Amino acid sequence: MLKTSAYAAPSATKQLAPISIERREPGPHDVLIDILYCGVCHSDIHQVRDEWGGAIFPMVPGHEIVGRVKQVGQHVTKLKVGDIAGVGCMVDSCRDCASCKGHIEQFCEKGVAFSYNSTEMDRKTPTYGGYSSQIVVDEHFTLKVPAGLDPAAAAPLLCAGITTYSPLRQWNCKKGDRVGVVGLGGLGHMAVKFAVSMGAEVTMLSTSRSKEADARRLGAHAFESTKDEATFQKLAGRFDLIINTISAPHDYNKYLGMLRPQGAMVIVGVPPEPTPVAAFSLIGGNKRLAGSMIGGIAETQEMLDYCAKHNIVSDIEIIPIQKINEAYERMMRGDVRYRFVIDIASLKEPART
């Protein structure tokens, strides 16, 4: 076993602290990656605080991982030593069910192995994420990070990137489409960048008027305040597609009213409580309310290659791992533009159990 330095939450009520964990020795199909950077996702906070239930402690979060390949198994063909590689939200699946064969491994019928707060496919061995110095992953669940992408700014693409790229692809976002993005945060800023790059006319819908300048800097063509009730009447029937990134409680019905007939609103944020939806909000106009969860491995690689081609990365603030608890509090206040990324080089002091 490989002794690995990491930061973990010992329980739902305690702060993250240094820990020593064990990684398996690389097998014939495995890749050993020395982690360079790990993005900090809002879902990390939900998980370490057990807000979604089922938390496994000690928990090492992190599923936006970029690092350098240190070792490969004898049957590995996808990567070689020295390559810059990524690991996203998944580290394994059954590979045999219809979902896995259909390249949507995140919906594995036997239950996907998530990168942390999960178990390997043996349903016994806990998985640990990227707030750590190294990780061992089957090559199928690794990604090639194109040479043109800054490794630190590319890390959040492994979750925030694919989470917003996938629904835009699913709904065939194209030149001339009118796209609304609800919420300008880690997800929202990526949705703006992607939709603009695909040729859409993009409107940022936010409660924070102070974010207008930033929205326009990111490429948004318009900005509308959703604190103003008149906005919902002004934009009634306007959008072909809405990407809703908000994780706070809000009224879906108001936003559905902004869709044109046969338009769609895709939910990628996770509010803490169920949201009532009136039937006529959907029936009136044959509108669609849908959800989207990350993407399969093939689509994630497609997204990374697309980002390299279009020079798209996340806006980030790099932090040492010793500031992770402070970063969580800042995230809860919305005090980040727009993704924290941990410099794992800061995790070089000897780990303690």
Residue 346, helix vs strand vs coil: helix
> Which pLDDT score, from 0 to 100, does residue 233 have?
97
CATH topology of domain 161-291: Rossmann fold (3.40.50)
Count of beta carbons in the 10 Å neighbourhood of residue 230: 9
> Which pLDDT score, from 0 to 100, does residue 350 have?
47
Asked whether this chain's domains 2-158+315-346 and 161-291 adopt the same fold, the reply is no
d(CA 92, CA 113): 5
Local confidence pLDDT in tens for the 353 residues of the chain? 999 999 999 999 999 999 999 999 999 999 999 999 999 999 999 999 999 999 999 999 999 999 999 999 999 999 999 999 999 999 999 999 999 999 999 999 999 999 999 999 999 999 999 999 999 999 999 999 999 999 999 999 999 999 999 999 999 999 999 999 999 999 999 999 999 999 999 999 999 999 999 999 999 999 999 999 999 999 999 999 999 999 999 999 999 999 999 999 999 999 989 999 999 999 999 999 999 999 999 999 999 999 999 999 999 999 999 999 999 999 999 999 999 999 999 998 544 44
> Which pLDDT score, from 0 to 100, does residue 272 have?
87
- Structure-block tokens of residue 76: 């590995």
- Domain chopping of the chain, boundaries: 2-158+315-346, 161-291
d(CA 288, CA 241): 9
d(CA 110, CA 45): 26
Look-up of token digits 């993250």: 16
> Which pLDDT score, from 0 to 100, does residue 203 have?
98
> Which pLDDT score, from 0 to 100, does residue 348 have?
82
Query: Taking a C-beta distance cutoff of 8 angstroms, is the pair 145, 85 a contact?
Result: yes
> Which pLDDT score, from 0 to 100, does residue 349 have?
56
Q: Which of 143, 145, 200, 189 is nearest to 163 (CA)?
A: 189
Q: Which of 151, 118, 189, 144 is nearest to 36 (CA)?
A: 151
d(CA 37, CA 162): 17
Quote the CATH superfamily of domain 2-158+315-346: Medium-chain alcohol dehydrogenases, catalytic domain (3.90.180.10)
Helices 160-170 and 297-310, axial angle in degrees (round to 10): 100
